[in-house]
Structure 1
Amino acid sequence: MKKANARDKILETASRLFQLQGYHATGLNQIIKESGSPKGSLYYYFPKGKEELAIHAVQYTNKYVQVQIKESLNKSSDAAQAIQYFIEELSKQFEHEESIAGMPVGLLAGETALINEPLREVCYAAFQDWEKLFREKMIESGFQEKQAGELAIVINCMIEGGILRSLTEKTSAPLQQIQQQIPVLVRK
């Protein structure tokens, strides 16, 4: 495995495990084992340990989710339809447990926000990045900036909550219900 590929594999594995298990339930040995990487490579790429790895994992997830949001929002000029498409694509990941990847960072944020300032900051930055994309789409569709900004926060919170509920129920039904309600919420 090339060095760059080893780093990416560690990040992918850590990101998935932090998202599904949380920060405290995920150990470095589990990340090493599941990524198939030598122990030394984890410390080579993330010399400050678990916190540094978690920060990079959130940034990795942030970039992944931004790509997914952008692709979905480009599917329609109508903000409600575009956001519905994103939620539909997101909900498909719940069809098979092993496909749950690149899920937003709500679990990690909720677990660490009050006790770890660097992780809180990186989770908050991810939320802001995703909300910015929703806000821009709504402005593009004719919403006033203030309303678009407020709706973007509400939509992101609904999605994060829907993900947690979907994980808990082991079904995409909560996300599908959110998807159906988007036109009610996103109207001028």
Structure 2
Amino acid sequence: MDTKLQIIDISIPLFQQKGYKGVGVTEIIKACNVSKGSFYHHFPDGKEELLMACLKSIDETITTHMKDIFKQYPSTQEATLAMIDILISDFEKKSRIVVSTFTSIVSEIGSLSEPVRNSCSDLYQKMQKIYCTKLEADGFSKETANSIALMMIASIEGAIMLCLTHKSSQPLKVISHELKKVLNYPG
């Protein structure tokens, strides 16, 4: 594996578990088994540049995963419930949510730079667009689809944080149940 990709792949779970501030360059170098020179060769601007690369990787993983799920199901309701079932299964098997643990990094957003904030914002906009497209195909107006999509992101991301803090998949199960009501076909 390419050293840069190795550093990114190893750093993502470190950032997800400990947050941006909780992980130092020394810990990253040690976990990746690379020299300081090698780290700075690939990330000359240091930890923030690495974080941006990690966010890009997470962005690609999440959007690809969501698009794949949403292509498999005819309605937003079925696709969303399938996605939440995957999150629940992930949590119950691993006590963490692998695919969508973007939230843990975003929680520090207030103290991070504008490029990092923009990167996070871009991912949420992509997620909202995936939801909106499917909701509009289900017959919801553009305005209603945007509102529901925003509510879905906030609900699911909030439930992920609650699962992690409560060490229980129950918050995602509750959201799944409640979204069934919201995602009924319009009219």
TM-score, with structure 2 as normaliser = 0.90
Inter-partner Cα distance in structure 1 for 2:60 and 2:12: 12
Deviations 1:53-110 (CA, angstroms, capped at 9, x unpaired): 1111111101101111112112211111111111111222212337642324222222
Secondary structure at 1:143 match in 2: coil
Instruction: Give 2:134's match in structure 1, choosing from 137, 160, 164.
Output: 137
Instruction: Give 1:7's match in structure 2, choosing from 4, 7, 13.
Output: 4
Partner of 1:40: 37
Percent identical pairs in the alignment equals 28
- Asked whether the 8 Å contact 2:4–2:42 carries over to 1, the reply is yes
Partner of 2:28: 31
- Farther-moved stretch of structure 1 (170-179 vs 120-129): 170-179
Note the residue ranges of structure 2 that are not aligned, 5 or more in a row. Answer: none
Return closer, same or farther for 1:161/1:28 CA change in 2, 3 Å cut-off: same
Return closer, same or farther for 1:121/1:40 CA change in 2, 3 Å cut-off: same
- 1:95 and 2:103 correspond: no
- 1:80 and 2:74 correspond: no
Q: How does 1:113-124 map to 2 (within 5 A)?
A: 113-124=110-121
Return closer, same or farther for 1:161/1:50 CA change in 2, 3 Å cut-off: same
- 1:20 and 2:25 correspond: no
What CA RMSD, in Å, does the superposition of the two structures yield over aligned residues?
1.8
- Structure 1 ranges of 4+ moved more than 4 A: none
Aligned residue identity for 1:17:
L
- Asked whether the 8 Å contact 2:84–2:176 carries over to 1, the reply is yes
Note the residue ranges of structure 1 that are not aligned, 5 or more in a row. Answer: none
- Asked whether the 8 Å contact 1:65–1:104 carries over to 2, the reply is no
Secondary structure at 2:14 match in 1: helix
Return closer, same or farther for 1:134/1:37 CA change in 2, 3 Å cut-off: farther
Inter-partner Cα distance in structure 2 for 1:24 and 1:127: 22
TM-score, with structure 1 as normaliser = 0.89
Aligned residue identity for 1:89:
I
Aligned residue identity for 1:95:
E
Secondary structure at 1:48 match in 2: coil
User: Aligned pairs, how many?
Assistant: 185
Aligned residue identity for 2:42:
Y
Deviations 1:87-134 (CA, angstroms, capped at 9, x unpaired): 111222212337642324222222123542221111111111111111
Deviations 1:27-51 (CA, angstroms, capped at 9, x unpaired): 1222222233343332122110011
- Asked whether the 8 Å contact 1:93–1:99 carries over to 2, the reply is yes
